[in-house]
Amino acid sequence: MAKAKEAVSAGELTQQYEARYELRIQGVSGLVMNKPNLIGGREDKGRDPAKWEQEHFMEKCYRNTLHEFMIPGRAIKKCLMDACKFIPEKPRGVSFKSFLPFIQSATIITDDAVLDVSEAQVMPLTLIVNLDPSKGNRGPRGPRTRPMIPVPWQASTRIIVFDPIITPGMLARIADTAGKQCGFLDGRSIDFGRALITVHAIE
């Protein structure tokens, strides 16, 4: 019986802090998508792979069950985690040297971020890329076509924070850094997917 009471007390302790926010995302550069093939195996692109990709580029879009374009919640959380390496301050009173473990374990992105764009706004983007990244810089290079949403685009999602060490101010700073220096989805290394992110408390 004593153990049961201890378990209840521990559960109550974990719920002492819970803060909810809305993340409003305003794109400042094109958003490139490259949804992986979840069925398995390689697509049969025929004798002209470049032409096949141009004809099928929309299949690489991220969409929800309502067929709306969206940024997956997991991609938003990864963006926030990546931003922590640009934050020089260390969390106080703990042994961690970064806020990354707290973003990883003490936050939940509750929704995918639905984009306010129509299919007519999505355009093909063809770039010369490494066709076999497993071979490093010596991999063969060739064209790949992906769907790109040009600016303006915007979206929003919600986040729950379970640790007070992530203050509203620190969350706002991490989110701002995430949008400006990390970006969403594909092509981040060449400045695609960058955005202005603002944090708004939900009462």
Question: Count of domains in the chain?
Answer: 1
Stretch 153-160: mean pLDDT: 97
Decide if 90 is inside a domain: yes
Domain contains 54: no
Has residue 72 got a pLDDT over 70? yes
How far apart CA 193 and CA 45 sit, in angstroms, is 27
Q: Which domain holds residue 165?
A: 17-40+65-122+148-201
CATH of the domain at 105: 3.30.70
Indicate the average pLDDT of the chain.
87
How far, CA to CA in Å, does 82 sit from each of 25, 78, 79, 86, 184? 17, 6, 5, 8, 11
Residue 49 counted as domain residue: no
- State mean pLDDT over 50-79: 91
195 DSSP β-pair partners: 27
| Alpha carbon distance 65, 88 (integer Å) | 40
Asked whether residue 136 is assigned to any structural domain, the reply reads: no
Instruction: Tell me if 72 is assigned to some domain.
Output: yes
Residue 1 scores a pLDDT above 60: no
Residue 175 counted as domain residue: yes
CB-CB contact of 155 with 193 (8 Å): no
β-strands 70-71, 31-32 pairing: unpaired
**Is residue 45 in some structural domain?**
no
β-strand 141-149 against 70-71: which pairing, if any?
unpaired
- Does the structure show a pLDDT above 90 at 108? yes
127-138 pLDDT, tens digit each: 887 666 677 677
Residue 182 resides in a domain:
yes
